[in-house]
Amino acid sequence: MNLTSSPLRAPASRLEWAVARARGQERAALAAYLPAGYPTLDQSLDALHLLATTADVIEIGLPYSDPLMDGPLIQRAAEQALRAGFRTEHLFTTVRELAAGSNAALVVMTYWQPVHHYGPAYAKEVQMSQP
């Protein structure tokens, strides 16, 4: 059994499509990370759109007030985004706008606490934000 090959089928998601495209070009997929709302909501949208011109996958971080597992740079970026007024609802509009304007695969990175605090609608909101 060859564990390095996948079954022949069409990619089901943007993420699978991005990885398959990179594999077809015999290269690794390029992934980039940015906390949403950093340094401001408008500036983060501009930066994310710019990243989407070259990155195959964009990981969008949800700023959180207690990011213990992140390094100091991401912690400071999250703090700045929150000070600038970023709220969880802004994540959904960020994903929606980026998904509509690019072909990059989008992945949301977060801790469990913000998801739990937002409630069951969180998963539905993220899902509805993407095509």
- Between CA 109 and CA 101 the distance in angstroms is 20
Find the catalytic residue in 16, 59, 79, 125.
59
Q: Is 66 a catalytic residue?
A: no
Q: Which two tokens stand for residue 121?
A: 């609608």
59 is catalytic: yes
Chain centroid to CA 49 = 12
For residues 70 and 14, give the distance between their C-alpha atoms in angstroms, rounded to a whole number. 26
Calpha distance 48→59 (Å, rounded)? 10
- Residue whose entry in the numeric block shows the structure tokens 């996958």: 57
Name the active-site residue from 16, 70, 79, 125.
70
Phi, psi of 77 (to 5 degrees): -65, -40
In angstroms, the CA 26 to CA 101 distance is 26
**Residues catalogued as catalytic:** 59, 70
